[in-house]
Amino acid sequence: MTILELKNVKKVYETKNVTTEALNEINFSVKKGEFISIMGESGAGKTTLLNIIATLDKATAGTVLLNGQDITALQDKEISKFRRKELGFVFQDFNLLDQFSNKDNIFLPLVLSEIEPTDMKLRLEKLQSSLGIEEILEKYPYEVSGGQKQRVAIARAAITGPSLLLADEPTGALDSAASEAILNLFNKINEKGQTVLMVTHSLRASSYAKRVLFIKDGIVYHEIYRGENESRGEFMERINQAQFMLNRGDK
Ligand SMILES: Nc1ncnc2c1ncn2[C@@H]1O[C@H](COP(=O)(O)OP(=O)(O)OP(=O)(O)O)[C@@H](O)[C@H]1O
Ligand SMILES: [Mg+2]
């Protein structure tokens, strides 16, 4: 089942005297249960693309269908409700609110959706042990490590059971051990059925995905799938080679 479909998505930024074509013609689709990484060099348009899918920014042209609904046609007043219902976000810099405990940060999207407190607790109980956050729920974001903050952010993103979990460089602010733990978590929640779309320039992060798309010159230039019996190391090597060829201009 297709969850997300992008057709001829274009994004042009017009500033005072500079026009930047960030995305030219992006086409791809995502099936339920996939774990996709989108790679590209700095400035390739990864964040732009994610923001458009996240309804945080509007495409200049093209359509984005999420569960068959064209999100580019949503009215402003429908957008926030749609976003809360369908999407979860994980950012490089966590975006937790320091005035709330970690637990209340996780509950925030449920509070906004007017979910009953007993239901909130049940949902958290289901998530907390696999995310390894039981010990830090009563603490505040400024009292825990970066890796722990990102676990809380993942819990906040996953607790609504979104159609799609979006992540922009989720390990960009973490050291390698914390990164590995976070990527293993993405794997775990993906194995439970959560569809994940991550953008990153990290080879290592991408090797955790099942499919890698490469964007360059505003289009999806190439894609590779992880083989059924392929190890993560082997996949990383193939991603590396593909990226090398791409940077040389080959396909
Ligand atoms: N708000 C904006 N106004 C004008 N130009 C922008 C804006 N945001 C991004 N751009 C430009 O669009 C292009 C794509 O930017 P984007 O942030 O999507 O790249 P990226 O692939 O996420 O890069 P990085 O890996 O460095 O995060 C760049 O040339 C950038 O300068
Ligand atoms: Mg970016």
CB atoms within 10 A of CB 196: 26
What's the pLDDT band for 249 if we cut at 50, 70, 90?
confident
Residues 6+ apart with CB under 8 A from 168: 46, 47, 50, 89, 90, 91, 92, 198, 199
Distance 50 CA to ligand 2 centre (A): 9
190 has a pLDDT exceeding 70: yes
Residue 135 has a pLDDT of 95
Shortest-distance Cα residue to atom 16 of ligand 1: 45
Shortest-distance Cα residue to atom 9 of ligand 1: 48
Distance 248 CA to ligand 2 centre (A): 22
250 has a pLDDT exceeding 70: no
As a whole number, mean pLDDT of residues 25-50 equals 96
The finding on whether 40 has its CB within 6 A of some atom of ligand 1 is: yes
Q: Tell me how many degrees the CA angle 213-62-86 measures, rounded to the nearest 5.
A: 70
Distance CA 179, CA 176 (A): 5
Number of C-alpha atoms within 13 angstroms, CB side, residue 86? 19
Distance CA 223, CA 36 (A): 10
Q: In 3D, which of 93, 247, 225 has the Cα closest to residue 172?
A: 93
- Ranking 62-71, 123-132, 215-224 by mean pLDDT, the lowest is 123-132
What's the pLDDT band for 218 if we cut at 50, 70, 90?
very high
As a whole number, mean pLDDT of residues 237-246 equals 94
251 has a pLDDT exceeding 80: no
The finding on whether 179 has its CB within 6 A of some atom of ligand 1 is: no
Shortest-distance Cα residue to atom 17 of ligand 1: 47
Residue 127 has a pLDDT of 87
Handedness of CA 106, 111, 117, 122 (dihedral sign): negative
End-to-end CA distance of the chain, in Å?
29
Distance 201 CA to ligand 1 centre (A): 13
Distance 39 CA to ligand 1 centre (A): 14
Residues 6+ apart with CB under 8 A from 231: none
Distance 64 CA to ligand 1 centre (A): 19
Please state, rounded to an integer, the average pLDDT across all residues of the chain.
94
Distance CA 225, CA 33 (A): 14
84 has a pLDDT exceeding 90: no
DSSP 8-state class, residue 201: S
Find where tokens 């999806």 sit. 220
The finding on whether 22 has its CB within 6 A of some atom of ligand 1 is: yes
Interval 120-160: pLDDT, tens: 999 999 888 889 899 999 999 999 999 999 999 999 999 99
The finding on whether 52 has its CB within 6 A of some atom of ligand 1 is: no
What's the pLDDT band for 81 if we cut at 50, 70, 90?
confident
As a whole number, mean pLDDT of residues 231-241 equals 97
Q: Percent of the chain, pLDDT > 90?
A: 85
As a whole number, mean pLDDT of residues 36-63 equals 95
The finding on whether 218 has its CB within 6 A of some atom of ligand 1 is: no
Interval 85-101: pLDDT, tens: 899 999 999 999 999 99
Distance 6 CA to ligand 1 centre (A): 19
DSSP 8-state class, residue 92: T
The finding on whether 45 has its CB within 6 A of some atom of ligand 1 is: yes
